[in-house]
Structure 1
Amino acid sequence: MTTPLHVLIHGGGIGGLTLATALARRGHTVEVVEARHELDALGVGIIQPSNALHAMDEIGVLDDCLRAGFEWEVLTIADPTGATLAEIPQPRMGDTPSNNGIPRPALARVLGAAATAAGATIRFSATITELTDDGAGVDVTLSDGSSGRWDLVVGFDGIGSPLRSRLYGDRYTPQYTGFANWRVTVPRLPEVRGVVMGVAGQEAKALLTPITDELMYLGAVFAEAEDFRPDPERALEQLRERLAAFSGPVAQALASVTDPAGVVYSRISQVTVEEAWHVGRVVLAGDAAHASTPHLAQGAAMAVEDAVVLAHALDAQADVPGALKAWEERRRPRAMWVQALSRAVLKQEMGGATTPEEDELLEVGIPGAAHVLVKPY
């Protein structure tokens, strides 16, 4: 496609800002609308596996990510006391590192700065309120009263995507898996130089993930009732109760936490848009189209892959509809494979029943999946 496009991206998260940077660097006019009033990402830290770092290299921010985070190469499996059971080297995609842990706010700053430097505009406290696609373009009205016409509208607006609801009604609402993620940021222990996965049978698993030289986060997944929410005053105590089987570095990490407000709790839900991810010139990407459980650490990686592959498709195809069709044909099999294996790993680790199809996926396992996902996206 040789004619520059006018592109509206609904959502200023990891995928949306990656796409904004990729497209603006190619000369397209890009505007990002974000419901929040600033790029202050929620949560603690995030793992960028090698395929995600490859996408960061494509948009020119790999070095910024590595400077802001903590690069690591080996996954360590440990028993409840912290004694090492196995050390598993992680594969690389090309010349990019195996993994990088990074605080979510730091990644938001890196990507926001890159998008702005490339020429994209980021508009805060705004969402889409009206949208009309006439086949040749999309007329959009925003919540701040402004309006415009766009060649392409992309929904990178997360698992609760308002744009998905606009396109498909309530057919694809998030489905709670029955499990939730507990996380808290703590000082990095010197011995934690990569992800340390502590396992206590099928009852509990705890991850220690370095995100800077000074910081790491402790994460743990447990079965939780759908209506459960931690008591704001007892969240830390409740997390300690769930991790009582662990001593060693997990207990040491917990002992360093004094404020229950630092405990971040999030239910693990999943979304699969079974129909086409694009309707006319409006397309969903990332968690809006295919949210997965976190068990392969690939949710954000799938979003940034979606972004750079969409930019490639717009380069290669003669028109927007052709580009969206080619993009989805390339992305859907990989994203659905990640989603299916992630869910199978969750069920296996928590002692749930698995289907024959999931058992076949589980033969690949987490180490095998890492090798699959360093192949070209």
Structure 2
Amino acid sequence: MASPLRVLIHGGGIGGLTLATALARRGHSVEVAEVRPGPEALGVGIIQPSNALHVMREIGVLDACLAAGFEWEILTIADPAGNPLARIPQPRMGDAPSNNGIPRPALARVLADAAVTAGAKIRYSATVTDLTDDGDGVDVTLSDGSAGRWDLVAGFDGIGSPLRTRLHGDRYTPEYTGFANWRVTVPRLPEVEGVVMSTAGQQAKALLTPITGELMYLGAVFAEEADFRPDPERAHEQLAARLAMFSGPVAEALATVTDPSGVVYSRISQVTVDAPWHVGRVVLAGDAAHASTPHIAQGAAMAVEDAVVLAESLDAEPDVPAALVAWEARRRPRALWVQSMSRAVLRQETGSPTTPEEDELLKIGIPGAAHVLAKPY
């Protein structure tokens, strides 16, 4: 499109800030409405695979991500004692590194700084309270009392997306998979120079992921009742009990966890919007449209891919409606493939029944999936 657009992004997480930077760098007028009071992000660390790092290069923050994180090339599969069973080199997309582990707060700061530097405005403690799309534009009122008219509203507001609820009601509520993720930041062991995945059959899986030169996070997935929540005063003990079958590096990492408040617990849910991801000039992206389980570490990567492909589609098409159609045609097959593969791996690892379609995906496996996704998006 020849004329600059006015774009409101609902959600200032990884995908939303990536879109803000990509659009502001192109000269569009961009505002981000983020419900949190500031740029601080919750959580421990995140893996940026090569396709996500390729996006970071596109928006000009690759070097900042690598400086704040820990670049790695080899996935190690280990037994419960930490003895390596396989060392699998990871693919690269272009000249981006294979992977980067990075603390979530550090990534949030990098992306927020990039968006503001590019010219985007971020409104914290703000969410949509009223929205009217008349076909030519979208009139929006925010909870901070501001109002405006926008050419496009993009919902990068997460798996619990209020914008999705506004568009579709409760038709697409998150579906709990029956499993939950436990994560905690610990000192990095010298031998952990890339992700180390230790498995104890279908009982448990533990991952050690470096996120800086000094830190790594311990992650584990277990079946949990839907209403279970860790005891705030015993969460570290509850995690240790679940990982009791592990020795070696996992046990060494657990021994450093003495503060229950450092344990981050999150239920693993998924969402698939099978209706079009855009309604008029309002579009859902990232977890708001296609939240996946974390089993191939591609959730955030899909969100940032969504963002840069949306910016490219707005460049290439004559108007916003045409751009949204073109964007979804590119994004839906890849994002839903990631979702299907992630779900298949979850079921395989936990001994749950799989479908014939999932069995075909599992022939590719996690290493094969990395190669599939290190190709143009």
Deviation at 1:202, TM superposition (A): 1.0
Divergent runs of 4+, >3 A: none
Aligned-partner SS, 2:295: helix
Q: How far apart are the structure 2 equivalents of 1:199 and 1:165?
A: 38
Q: Which amino acid aligns with 2:313?
A: A
The residue that corresponds to 2:215 in the other structure is 215
The residue that corresponds to 1:46 in the other structure is 46
The residue that corresponds to 1:240 in the other structure is 240
The residue that corresponds to 1:164 in the other structure is 164
Q: Which amino acid aligns with 2:108?
A: A
Q: How far apart are the structure 2 equivalents of 1:144 and 1:116?
A: 19
Deviation at 1:278, TM superposition (A): 0.2
Aligned-partner SS, 1:101: strand
Deviation at 1:145, TM superposition (A): 1.4
1:1-377 equivalent positions in 2, closer than 5 A: 1-377=1-377
TM-score by length of 2: 1.00
Q: Which amino acid aligns with 1:291?
A: A
Q: Which amino acid aligns with 1:171?
A: R
Deviation at 1:146, TM superposition (A): 1.3
Aligned-partner SS, 1:296: coil
Deviations 1:297-326 (A, max 9, x none): 000000000000000000000000000000
Q: How far apart are the structure 1 equivalents of 2:357 and 2:368?
A: 17
Deviations 1:334-360 (A, max 9, x none): 000000010010010011110111101
Deviation at 1:234, TM superposition (A): 1.1
Q: How far apart are the structure 2 equivalents of 1:142 and 1:233?
A: 38
Q: How far apart are the structure 1 equivalents of 2:144 and 2:229?
A: 33
Aligned-partner SS, 1:178: strand
Cα-Cα RMSD: 0.4
Q: Which amino acid aligns with 2:18?
A: T
Q: How far apart are the structure 2 equivalents of 1:307 and 1:313?
A: 10
Deviation at 1:247, TM superposition (A): 0.2
Tell me the number of residue pairs that the alignment of Structure 1 and Structure 2 aligns: 377
Q: Which amino acid aligns with 2:318?
A: A
Q: How far apart are the structure 2 equivalents of 1:278 and 1:331?
A: 12
Deviations 1:17-63 (A, max 9, x none): 00000000000000001000001111100000000000000000000
Q: Which amino acid aligns with 2:8?
A: L
Q: How far apart are the structure 1 equivalents of 2:31 and 2:343?
A: 34
Q: State percent identity of aligned pairs.
A: 82
Q: How far apart are the structure 2 equivalents of 1:36 and 1:257?
A: 28
TM-score by length of 1: 1.00
Q: How far apart are the structure 1 equivalents of 2:222 and 2:257?
A: 20
Unmatched segments (≥5 aa) in structure 2: none
Deviation at 1:169, TM superposition (A): 0.4
